[in-house]
Amino acid sequence: MVLLLRTLGRQGVCLSRPQYAVLCRHVVPMGTTAKEEMNTFWAKNSRSNRPLSPHLTAYKWTMPMMMSVAHRGTGIGLSGAVSAVAVAALVLPGNYPYYLDLIHSLSFGPFLIGLAKLGIAFPLSYHAFNGIRHLIWDIGKGFRMAEVYRSGYAVIGLSIITSIALVLR
Amino acid sequence: MAAIVRLSSVCRRGINRNLVRLTVFACAMQITQCANSLLILALTAGSASKAASLHWTAERVLSILLLAMAPVAYYNPGPVMDYSLAAALTLHGHWGIGQVLTDYVHGDTKIKIAKAGLFLLSTVTFSGLCYFNYNDVGICKAIAMLWSK
């Protein structure tokens, strides 16, 4: 009996063959869209008040994971900074050169100024280079684990070099 | 883009820098036109899933556009780059934070409130940047002044 089943299986006898189509005649096509299905799922899921599954605490922190979090973090940070500058432009009296002179007059040492510049340059460089890495993934390249780690280290290296170059120029 | 590669391989460094700048700018203009036609296509497209995939493509096109804007703004600062940068930065940030909200905010009303708040923030950001460009030194000049500290 087992031998018969194994022989049939090896020859690929399955329901997709035309002889067996008669068995599938009563299958009903899906009446809902993906969006409806998703909404039904989320309605039930939110109602159940299920606890969030541990995702940050249960898994080992790997380099690609940390880089992805950093990409999101730098993105939110940079966007926040841009919004802050825009709101400041609308709200604060006086123009930009006035405030720049104000900061100048506080006479921070070159080290602190360099540090502040690095604080702007490094998130920007990192986000830009990792963004390019994301775009390369989007065209389908570089998904093998070795490639992921290699491109990751390249992004970190390039970010450090670029931000130091920007600060020192 | 191929034209730039050919130019740079043939010309000595420094002689045709202006030509390279012009070609970079022309490329940026081409990409902007592509983005615009994609936008028009998105508005006339049919189903929701089509809109979603067009949005995805638009996000990537905008990212490439923003990357291209950096060198162009460095070599050709001015009001055109100021306003283009304001628009591209705000839209890229708006779509980016939109994705973050989609990931972490669940429930119909919460999503609506969050998206409305984001829309308000992006509108204020864009108007603030435009105000800065019009009434103050402008983005390119501001960064140059900040960095020469």
Say if residue B11's pLDDT is above 50. no
Residue of chain A nearest B68, judged by CA positions? A128
Q: Which of A34-48, A58-72, A99-113, B11-25 is modeled with the greatest confidence?
A: A58-72
Same domain, B1 and B41: yes
Lowest mean pLDDT among A17-31, A98-112, A145-159: A17-31
**Residues in chain B within 8 Å Cβ distance of A128:** 67, 70
Residue of chain A nearest B134, judged by CA positions? A89
Of B76, B101, B131, the domain-final residue: B76
Q: Which of A7-21, A44-58, A135-149, B11-25 is modeled with the greatest confidence?
A: A135-149
- The alpha carbon of residue B104 is apart from the nearest alpha carbon of chain A, in Å, by 11
Q: How many domains does chain A have?
A: 1
Q: What is the CATH number of the domain that holds A159?
A: 1.20.1300.10
What is the pTM for the complete model shown?
0.73
A128 or A20, greater pLDDT: A128
Same domain, B24 and B34: yes
Contact by Cβ (8 Å): B129, B123: no
pLDDT in tens, A15-47: 555 555 555 556 666 778 888 888 888 888 888
d(CA B75, CA B24): 10
Share of chain A above pLDDT 70, in %: 82
Share of chain B above pLDDT 90, in %: 58
Same domain, B56 and B83: no
Query: Do the chains contact at A72 and B90, CB–CB below 8 Å?
Result: no
Same domain, B20 and B53: yes
Residue of chain B nearest A36, judged by CA positions? B48
Domain membership flag for residue A22: no
Q: Is the ipTM of this complex over 0.85?
A: no
Same domain, B71 and B95: no
CB-based contacts of A78, cutoff 8 Å, min separation 6 = A123, A124, A127, B93
d(CA B94, CA B121): 9
Say if residue A1's pLDDT is above 80. no
Task: Write out the residues of chain A at the interface with chain B, using a CB-CB cutoff of 8 A.
Answer: 33-35, 42, 45-46, 72, 75-76, 78-79, 82-83, 85-90, 95-97, 100, 103-104, 113, 117, 128, 131-132, 135, 138, 166, 169
Domain membership flag for residue A19: no
- Is the CA virtual torsion A20, A25, A31, A37 positive or negative? negative
Of B59, B76, B93, the domain-final residue: B76
Domain that holds residue A88: 63-168
Query: Do the chains contact at A113 and B128, CB–CB below 8 Å?
Result: no
Same domain, B84 and B145: yes
Contact by Cβ (8 Å): B89, B70: no
Query: Do the chains contact at A90 and B96, CB–CB below 8 Å?
Result: no
Same domain, B37 and B92: no
pLDDT band for position A118 (cuts 50, 70, 90): very high
Instruction: Name the packing angle between helices B79-104 and B48-75 (round to 10°).
Output: 140
Query: Do the chains contact at B93 and A78, CB–CB below 8 Å?
Result: yes
**Which long-range contacts (C-beta less than 8 Å, at least 24 apart) are formed by A160-165?**
A160/A122, A162/A121, A162/A125, A162/A129, A163/A118, A163/A121, A163/A122, A163/A124, A163/A125, A163/A126, A164/A118
Domain that holds residue B11: 1-76
pLDDT in tens, B32-43: 555 555 555 555
- The alpha carbon of residue B40 is apart from the nearest alpha carbon of chain A, in Å, by 23
Of B34, B51, B76, the domain-final residue: B76
Same domain, B49 and B16: yes
pLDDT of residue B8: 45
pLDDT of residue B4: 44
Out of B96, B107, B125, name the one closest to residue A86 (CB): B125
pLDDT of residue A52: 79
Q: Say how many CB pairs under 8 Å bridge A and B.
A: 84
pLDDT band for position B61 (cuts 50, 70, 90): very high
Q: How many domains does chain B have?
A: 2
Query: Do the chains contact at A95 and B137, CB–CB below 8 Å?
Result: yes
Choose among B136, B41, B35: nearest CA to B82: B136
Contact by Cβ (8 Å): B53, B93: no
pLDDT band for position B5 (cuts 50, 70, 90): very low
Lowest mean pLDDT among A47-51, A152-156, B121-125: A47-51
A51 φ/ψ sector (left φ>0, alpha ψ -120 to 50, else beta): beta
**Residues in chain A within 8 Å Cβ distance of B142:** 96
* DSSP-assigned states of every residue in B14-82: TTTHHHHHHHHHHHHHHHHHHHHHHHHHHHH--SHHHHHHHHHHHHHHHHHHHHHHHHHHHHS-SHHHH
Say if residue B44's pLDDT is above 60. no
Same domain, B68 and B89: no
Q: Count Cα neighbours of A86 within 13 Å in the Cβ-side half-sphere.
A: 22
Same domain, B97 and B63: no
pLDDT in tens, B80-110: 999 999 999 999 999 999 999 999 888 788 9
Same domain, B88 and B43: no
Number of neighbouring beta carbons within 10 Å of residue A48? 8
Domain membership flag for residue A24: no
d(CA A51, CA A153): 35
Same domain, B40 and B92: no
Residue B104 marked in a binding site = yes
